[in-house]
Amino acid sequence: MKILINPSSDTWTKELARPVQKTKQINKIVKPILRKVKRNGDKALLKFALEYDHVHLENLEASELEIKASAAAIPTELKEAIQVAKENIERFHKAQISPELVEEVMPGVVCKRKSMPIQRVGLYIPGGTAPLFSTVLMLGVPAAIAGCKEIVLCTPPDRDGKIHPAILYTANLVGITKIMKVGGAQAVAAMTFGTSSVPKVDKIFGPGNQYVTAAKQMATKYGVAIDMPAGPSEVLVYADQTAIPAFVAADLLSQAEHGVDSQVVLVTTTEKIAKQVLKEIDAQLEDLPRKDIAQKALKNSRAVVMENQEEALELINEYAPEHLIISVENEEEVVDAIYNAGSIFIGNYTPESAGDYASGTNHTLPTYGYARSYSGVSLDSFVKKMTYQKITEEGIKSLGPTIEVMAANELLDAHKNAVSIRLKYLKSKKI
């Protein structure tokens, strides 16, 4: 992990560049997958399962028997932990329900706005090097609270044709019944176009590798929405002399172990702190089962020593991290100065892992600098806002002339006439 000492702002982009995504090569692989699934449906999915997952499947959908058996296949302490996390996530996301907005903007003109659930949503749950059953909670819970009519879950099977029992158990716990043994870009394709087994959806959620990410972005060309563009996981820790180096190192490694293309960044006030953290990273790394993955990720990572807080904050906002951990003495002042981050973790006792699993916030967040313009997943991600208006006779008399003038000046006479004809009618009623 390289240390940078007071880098000038014109070098930040280069020095903190995320791992390069080979977009053109990835798209060359993903486009034919989408095309084949669109053309051949389930037949293509079964073929891809054999080719990529090395498993011969008879059926793409998880059976009721498999779902029921999952409860016995995981330990009680895990089920209890999942239940606690579910309750916290439910509580925080239920608090996000917004009441219907009704406003009489002028006499006789009433405008309303209310949330309506997206009818059909697809959830992609990675199941490769780490089965992310926590993501089932992060996506399934708000989808259920929003009232989505159909929730489809896709996740890759193992070589025995089975889905990890924790994923099945969690999906069943949150009420998801359509669980498909489909992974990779082909899962996104199936939810985009629909097949005999996999329903077509209106919006696709969930993290994935670079192929899944590319497929999601291609899905938008076919009228399917996605949660956000996303890349490999990342964390930035801002630490001063009040931070505990062992905690900081643990937080950096918790993201580094996600994948070889992950990136972690330390921003600090002195070189001494940076060296203390790097020493802790070396010590903790030795005990990690995913040591090799974390080591490769650390090659993409940086420790940055900044001269003062003002420049440190400027760098953080420019980088726009997915996860931002703030371990500094004047935490409130620093938090108020952050405007680009996916999710913020405040204080020495708030590890990023809390947000990943059980604090209640959502862990599906914008990466790769997209935190400058995107929010993380929330209840709002599963609803659309619809507006309504009701105008009375009094209202059209008051508002009508304004509309007529505006429409006439845009040379849209039919728009003007839609108002004028009503005003003339009301005038004739009085005669």
What residue numbers does the annotated binding site for NAD(+) cover? 124, 186, 209
Identity of the amino acid at 75: P
Give the strand order in the sheet containing 234-239: 2-5, 302-305, 263-268, 234-239, 323-327, 343-346
Q: Is 200 helix (H, G, I), strand (E, B) or coil?
A: coil
Cα–Cα distance list, 414 to 325, 388, 409, 411, 418 (Å)? 56, 22, 12, 9, 6
Could you tell me which residues are annotated as the binding site? 124, 186, 209, 233, 255, 258, 323, 356, 410, 415
For residue 158 the two structure tokens come to: 């193992």
Assess whether 90 carries a catalytic annotation: no
CA distance 159 to 65: 19
Q: Which residue has the tokens 């608090």?
A: 95
Residue 401 CB neighbour total at 10 angstroms? 13
Q: What is the DSSP string of 11-61?
A: GHHHHTPPPPP-HHHHHHHHHHHHHHHHHHTHHHHHHHHHHHS----S-SB
Catalytic residue among 234, 257, 322, 331: 322
**Residue 101 pairs with which residues in a beta bridge?**
113
- HSE-CB of 244 using CA atoms within 13 angstroms: 9
Vertex 85: Cα angle to 79 and 90 (nearest 5): 125
Assess whether 100 carries a catalytic annotation: no
Could you tell me which residues are annotated as the binding site for substrate? 233, 255, 258, 323, 356, 410, 415
Q: Are the C-beta atoms of 54 and 184 separated by less than 8 Å?
A: no
Q: Are the C-beta atoms of 119 and 130 separated by less than 8 Å?
A: no
Catalytic residue among 93, 164, 323, 363: 323
Q: Which residue has the tokens 């939810």?
A: 191
Long-range CB pairs of 115-118 (<8 Å, 24+ gap) are: 115/146, 115/380, 115/383, 115/384, 115/385, 115/386, 116/383, 116/384, 116/385, 116/386, 117/146, 117/147, 117/148, 117/149, 117/382, 117/383, 118/146, 118/148, 118/202, 118/203, 118/225, 118/382, 118/383, 118/384
Length of the chain in terms of residues written: 431
Could you tell me which residues are annotated as the binding site for Zn(2+)? 255, 258, 356, 415
Positions annotated as catalytic residues are: 322-323
